[in-house]
């Protein structure tokens, strides 16, 4: 697996994962807006098989979308293909990107998660995220609240990431 920037050519695979993962999936238009128009959005994929030295091919097995604003990162979407779940894809993707943004000067990461999503909550907790609030009625499809989680990158560096993959820029 390796982490790479999402491209519009990845959208068919990303949308398959999105639809399999969420009751109210993002549309192609929403992903295109983030890719092409939202200046603070950065979208990443985790690829299997052919690595960057082989032309960047490989199947999209997961993705992470975020907004990077000043020294803060807001994770907006994270999903893994059902066939690739519980294989460390989300851990690798999140850990790699948290370290990447920590090196870029980010100090804080926030995200929302459904209270019932215990697997995601365990993953986030392992990276030092803690609950700082609740957004009432956040999920419009069910009216469910969202837990607001936060991690300080200066206090809880990304776990399990020693070296950035060659596809990510290095920062001094």
- Answer yes or no: are the C-beta atoms of 123 and 88 closer than 8 Å: no
| Residue 150 bears catalytic tag | no
Contacts of 8 (CB under 8 A, 6+ apart): 32, 35, 36
Helix, strand or coil for residue 70? Answer: coil
- Answer yes or no: are the C-beta atoms of 25 and 18 closer than 8 Å: yes
Q: Among the options 13, 112, 131, 150, which is catalytic?
A: 112
| Residue 112 bears catalytic tag | yes
Nearest-CA neighbor of 51 among 42, 59, 39?
59
Q: Among the options 34, 42, 99, 124, which is catalytic?
A: 124
Helix, strand or coil for residue 113? Answer: strand
Q: In what order do the strands lie in the sheet with 41-47?
A: 2-5, 41-47, 60-69, 72-80, 108-113, 144-152, 130-139
So which residues are the catalytic ones?
112, 124
């Amino acid at each position: 697996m390796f982490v790479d920037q999402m491209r519009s050519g990845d959208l068919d695979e990303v949308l398959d994962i999105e639809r399999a993962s969420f009751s109210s999936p993002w549309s192609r238009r929403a992903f295109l807006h983030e890719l092409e128009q939202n200046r603070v959005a950065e979208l990443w994929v985790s690829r299997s098989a052919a690595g960057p030295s082989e032309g960047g091919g490989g199947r999209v097995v997961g993705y992470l979308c975020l907004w990077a604003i000043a020294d803060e990162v807001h994770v907006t979407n994270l999903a893994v293909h059902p066939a690739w779940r519980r294989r460390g894809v989300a851990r690798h993707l999140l850990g790699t990107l948290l370290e990447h943004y920590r090196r870029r000067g980010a100090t804080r990461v926030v995200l929302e998660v459904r209270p019932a999503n215990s697997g995601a909550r365990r993953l986030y907790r392992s990276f030092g995220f803690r609950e700082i609030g609740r957004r009432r009625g956040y999920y419009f499809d069910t009216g469910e609240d969202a837990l607001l989680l936060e991690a300080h990158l200066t206090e809880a560096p990304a776990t399990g990431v020693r070296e950035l993959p060659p596809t990510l820029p290095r920062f001094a």
